[in-house]
Structure 1
Amino acid sequence: MTTIVRTSAGPVRGRTTDGVSTFLGLPYAAPPVGRHRLRPPQPVQPWTGIRDATVLGPEPPQPQFGASDPSGLVFDPAVPGDDCLNLNVWTPEPAAAGLPVMVWIPGGQFEFSSGGSYDGSRFARDGVVCVTINWRTGADGFLYLGPGDDGANLGLLDQVAALTWVREEIGAFGGDPDRVTVFGESAGAMSIGVLLSMPSAEGLFRRVILQSGAAHHVVPPADATRIGARLAEILGVPPTRDAVAGVPVDRVLGAQAQVRAELLAAPDPRRWGAEVVASTMPFHPVVDGDVVPGVPIDRVAAGASGDVDVLVGTNSDDWRMFPVLGGFIDQVTDEALAGPAEVFGSWSVEAFGLPAGTAVPAYRDAHPGSSSGDVLAEVLTDWWVRVPALRLADAHAPFPGATFAYEFAWPSPAFDGRLGACHALEIPFVFDTLDLGRAQMMGGALGESPPQQLADVVHGAWVRFAATGDPGWPPYDLERRATMRLDTTPSVLEDPYARERALWAGIR
């Protein structure tokens, strides 16, 4: 059955099945092409007639990645196209009013973005209006060319434009614009950590859920300028926004890949900047002094978004997926782990700011019998997501908005169990889509009998948090640091990462 909803730009036609109305490919900004290329998002132009919203819209320029991935872990059914700043809506009743709203910001290393890879129908089944968005990534979203560049952090501005659309339009789909929860994973969660600190995002959401990402990973402007200049050099154009905008998209993507390859090949990735993050995410949010006025975690600690409810967490073995799939977890030696970063790069704990003489013994003591590759995987998890999540929870806890913490602990049976409770594994549990198998993100990591009872718990907690601000366990404070461990037998732990907090104290 078809369903028509009227938006301010014109009416749209969706499809209703089993009590859920779905609207796909709704534009929240004008196509970022022509004079809008590499520029902030512009308003949608109204249309005449009824716009079809029964098929996914195109996604922003990005490397081809998704359904053909041999690991079976990723899923991307969309295709690139001009009208790529679009979103998808699932609602239980467009004619309703006051339903809680959840807006999903997908991850992808700030290199990929596919809102169409996620099915929000189970949220709608449970009384939530669910929205998934596309946003610009890579150089299209995060090229920075130095002071005075008027196009910094376009990907974040896309997210703000999408959230502004939600505030203005979601009432027509049954949602309450004052009950918006923004949730996301990896780069999506890191984006949310930045949104918490951005003046232009203030008032666009009431709650946030950050899955394996927080408010730390931004690049200093000098480092971002150096990366942007290298991209322009590869393209053979002056380091100006107009010059880069005049280069065909496929050439920009190729240059973007070359920059990333050069960073990965550097003996010591820190030569590109202060953060190892630049070695794998050369284009990501930059502290430009305008869109992002300061380091997000510092602004949160000073009270930014202090009235917003926050649920933040990671997976137990979060970053282990990358050395396992990358094939180097068994190649890391004791010498590399404890050696100088100038020689061993990001296989050395010193590349992450840790003193090898104390850090390596501490990790070995905490994880008896672990190989050097196992220890590196723990360090990667802590640096990328766990310590940032702990610090975000600590920074936000003193303010009026509630703070909650979680750890997703169910281990994947895939790859002979070597992934553990890895990065992104929680997503099909959050969306309650275990039955979709490989036709979803991380479907290939679920095995043949993933625990539906855990999906009931996780999905239910996310829905409760969006609806009420309480996921169902004690809030996080600076005394107990209560953390819900989400596994087949959930349990509340008190300050489970005190050792890691102490080990990383003072290290950015």
Structure 2
Amino acid sequence: MTSNGDNSVVVNTTSGRVRGQTIHVLDTSVDQFLNIPFAEPPVGALRFAKPVPIQKPFDGIMDGTKMGNACPQRASQYSSNTYVEDEDCLVLNIWTPNMGNNSSSKQTSLKPVMFWIYGGGLATGSISKFNGGPLATHDIVFVAANYRLGPLGFLYGGREDAPGNQGFYDQLLALKWVRDNIHAFGGDRDEITIFGGSAGSWSISAHILSPLSKGLFKRAIMQSGAHLYNKDRDVITKSEALAQAKGLAKQLKCSESEDWLEFLRKVDAKELVKYANPTNFPLVGTEYLPLPTQQALQDKLYYSDIDLMAGCLSNEGSVLSRGILPAKDDLTLDDFKTSVNIVNQIFKDIDVQKVVNYYVKNGDTSSSLALRRGFYDFFGDIIMKMPTFLFAKQFATNGRNNGKNVYFYELTFQSKSFAEMYKCNDEISGIGHGMEIPFVFGVPFIPGQQMPFTDTERQFSRDVMKMWTNFAKYGTPDPNWPQLLSDENVPKVKNLNPNPSVQVFDDPYATIYNEFWKDYYL
């Protein structure tokens, strides 16, 4: 790494030399590098294929001061985006504590690395939404990598050049690039923590389960999400995925005589993503994920030699229900049942009447508010709370004697500014899905952001950043945070709140699991 007087910093990588810049965050200097390619552009014959490492380093110096392309994607139902989209999108961003000129005799010790995977249902999202500067001020190196989305990232062709889970292969190649290059940015390749939110958290669970990712990271943080659903069948099977892919080609007017996959390789990417599903799911029975999650956990065929931190939010279902539950004020029981049936089409084997009986409080099926609240609770439980907790608990149970740490949290604090950002500032939306992310990323301290924050919110963000980065450094987020199975009979869940009424919840999901979900997941 060489520094120049104009705040620019040049680093040599396997992709070529890249020029970043020194920026100032939280009264500290941080070096920022944007838009570094880690793979050949996945275009032409490489569309739907595994990513290919950079074949020849860039000749000259790459400009790492501007954001790169986002991967082509459908419009998000949860937020607007202003991404510049292009298939040439396999790039990563890095923020690292300012090292100055490393040609000096003073040797700086390598820092732990935090590798972020964004969410968006494996259908939307981009690294450009995540500024790693505030986290990098905590003496870690932050990396975030783009991965392909929707059909470009998860279409299954049933053959080697369209293996399914391409987006996970992208994440894997980025992780390997980090291991090969991060020392040049002051990072320690043997101290990598992978972390992600929502579908990024699904991705983390996939890397824990995949034999291909084994040994590439030391710790993991799962923020709301795990690939763990109906124990009797996965969300999507290979035959269903293949039928979906062929159906997409037919929708786009592929003739019977054409090779449907080659046809799809020639369709304009913008046209392709118009037909994308709002959510994609990991595909098992593949090279990347050979086994269903339940079997992998039961047979202990996963990467267990890591510390794990996981968690969820009090009201996961409020934000996530928006694409399913009608937005009207006068919600009816029929609306509720129709929405549960939509969820059943995805996850299968859900008894609609049992959901009504259990989740609509006091049986008040004539109350629009009770129906909405009940659906929020049901959907949050099935898609986020139960999978994340049960994955972490089973991981901890299996590894009780291996010396690895497992922690779990529930965020119970709502920031007024974040509630407005996530449209959760109504009577019942509460602490909605994703609302921990701005605290984790130190949004109150990002230069130029316009939202008002209270002193409590700003301090809480500092505390959360410290917990997350402490976990990356030491495997322990906070000395007062008990491990999930520190009492093997009563799981301990940290109440993540700046002013908690109780510090730790004792097995908070036991009742709902035992009364409703016990036979569904494991």
Which bracket does the TM-score occupy, shorter chain normalised? 0.7 to 0.9
**Residue number in structure 1 paired with 2:387:** 388
Give the conservation status (yes or no) of the 8 Å contact 1:91–1:130.
Answer: yes
Q: What is the DSSP-based 3-state SS (H/G/I as helix, E as strand, rest coil) of the residue aligned with 1:112?
A: coil
2:173 corresponds to which of 151, 157, 161:
161
Q: Who wins on radius of gyration, i.e. which is larger?
A: 2
Give the conservation status (yes or no) of the 8 Å contact 2:115–2:192.
Answer: yes
Q: Using the TM superposition, name which of 490-499 and 102-111 deviates more.
A: 490-499
Does 1:245 find its partner at 2:265? yes
CA distance, structure 1, for counterparts of residue 83 and residue 351 of structure 2: 45
Give the conservation status (yes or no) of the 8 Å contact 2:155–2:162.
Answer: no
1:90-123 deviation per Cα after TM superposition (whole angstroms, max 9, x unaligned): 0003443321100110011111130111010011
CA distance, structure 1, for counterparts of residue 14 and residue 328 of structure 2: 52
1:419 corresponds to which of 419, 429, 436:
429
CA distance, structure 1, for counterparts of residue 244 and residue 311 of structure 2: 30
Give the conservation status (yes or no) of the 8 Å contact 1:207–1:308.
Answer: yes
Does 1:505 find its partner at 2:518? yes
CA distance, structure 2, for counterparts of residue 253 and residue 329 of structure 1: 28
Does 1:60 find its partner at 2:59? no
Does 1:26 find its partner at 2:26? no
Kindly report which structure 2 residues correspond to 1:142-221, keeping only aligned pairs within 5 A, or say none: 142-146=154-158, 150-216=162-228, 219-221=236-238
**Residue number in structure 1 paired with 2:148:** 136
Give the conservation status (yes or no) of the 8 Å contact 1:232–1:239.
Answer: no
Does 1:312 find its partner at 2:317? no
Q: What is the DSSP-based 3-state SS (H/G/I as helix, E as strand, rest coil) of the residue aligned with 2:163?
A: coil
Give the conservation status (yes or no) of the 8 Å contact 2:409–2:495.
Answer: yes
Between the two proteins, what is the percent identity of the paired residues?
Answer: 30
Q: 1:349 to 1:89 in 2, by over 3 A?
A: closer
Kindly report which structure 2 residues correspond to 1:49-448, keeping only aligned pairs within 5 A, or say none: 49-64=60-75, 74=79, 76=81, 78-94=83-99, 95=102, 96-146=108-158, 150-216=162-228, 219-237=236-254, 238=258, 240-256=260-276, 260=277, 280-281=278-279, 283-303=280-300, 304-323=302-321, 327-328=326-327, 330-337=329-336, 339=337, 345-346=341-342, 353-356=349-352, 358-364=354-360, 371-397=370-396, 398-399=398-399, 400=402, 401-413=404-416, 414=420, 415-436=425-446
Q: Using the TM superposition, name which of 347-356 and 479-488 deviates more.
A: 347-356
1:402-442 deviation per Cα after TM superposition (whole angstroms, max 9, x unaligned): 21111111135433354210011111101111245995xxx
Q: 1:114 to 1:384 in 2, by over 3 A?
A: same
Give the conservation status (yes or no) of the 8 Å contact 1:363–1:375.
Answer: yes
Q: 1:365 to 1:230 in 2, by over 3 A?
A: same
Q: 1:240 to 1:291 in 2, by over 3 A?
A: farther
CA drift at 1:449: 7.5
Give the conservation status (yes or no) of the 8 Å contact 2:321–2:379.
Answer: no
Q: 1:347 to 1:383 in 2, by over 3 A?
A: closer
**Residue number in structure 2 paired with 1:476:** 484
Give the conservation status (yes or no) of the 8 Å contact 1:178–1:205.
Answer: yes
Q: 1:481 to 1:327 in 2, by over 3 A?
A: same
Q: 1:207 to 1:367 in 2, by over 3 A?
A: farther
**Residue number in structure 2 paired with 1:266:** none
CA distance, structure 1, for counterparts of residue 288 and residue 345 of structure 2: 33
Which amino acid in structure 1 is aligned with residue 408 of structure 2?
A: A
Q: 1:412 to 1:453 in 2, by over 3 A?
A: closer
Which amino acid in structure 2 is aligned with residue 466 of structure 1?
A: A
CA drift at 1:361: 3.8
**Residue number in structure 1 paired with 2:465:** 459
CA drift at 1:453: 2.4
CA drift at 1:239: 6.5
Q: What is the DSSP-based 3-state SS (H/G/I as helix, E as strand, rest coil) of the residue aligned with 2:410?
A: strand
Give the conservation status (yes or no) of the 8 Å contact 1:144–1:225.
Answer: yes
Q: What is the DSSP-based 3-state SS (H/G/I as helix, E as strand, rest coil) of the residue aligned with 1:180?
A: strand
CA distance, structure 1, for counterparts of residue 517 and residue 84 of structure 2: 41
Which amino acid in structure 2 is aligned with residue 89 of structure 1?
A: I
CA distance, structure 1, for counterparts of residue 299 and residue 135 of structure 2: 34
**Residue number in structure 1 paired with 2:105:** none
Which amino acid in structure 2 is aligned with residue 248 of structure 1?
A: D
Give the conservation status (yes or no) of the 8 Å contact 2:344–2:350.
Answer: no
Pairs aligned (count): 472
CA distance, structure 2, for counterparts of residue 43 and residue 210 of structure 1: 27
CA distance, structure 2, for counterparts of residue 145 and residue 402 of structure 1: 39
1:456-494 deviation per Cα after TM superposition (whole angstroms, max 9, x unaligned): 222111011101001121111242211111122242111
Q: 1:180 to 1:417 in 2, by over 3 A?
A: farther
CA drift at 1:150: 3.9
Q: 1:350 to 1:244 in 2, by over 3 A?
A: closer
1:250-285 deviation per Cα after TM superposition (whole angstroms, max 9, x unaligned): 2212232xxx4xxxxxxxxxxxxxxxxxxx42x332
Give the conservation status (yes or no) of the 8 Å contact 2:163–2:286.
Answer: no
Which amino acid in structure 2 is aligned with residue 345 of structure 1?
A: N
Q: 1:395 to 1:114 in 2, by over 3 A?
A: same
Give the conservation status (yes or no) of the 8 Å contact 1:153–1:286.
Answer: yes
CA drift at 1:191: 1.0
CA distance, structure 1, for counterparts of residue 446 and residue 284 of structure 2: 39
Give the conservation status (yes or no) of the 8 Å contact 2:442–2:461.
Answer: yes
**Residue number in structure 2 paired with 1:273:** none
CA drift at 1:306: 1.1
Q: Using the TM superposition, name which of 359-368 and 17-26 deviates more.
A: 359-368
CA drift at 1:146: 3.6
1:151-204 deviation per Cα after TM superposition (whole angstroms, max 9, x unaligned): 311000000001001111111101111110111111111111111111111111
CA distance, structure 2, for counterparts of residue 129 and residue 323 of structure 1: 35
CA drift at 1:365: 5.3
**Residue number in structure 1 paired with 2:3:** none
CA RMSD, 1 decimal: 2.8
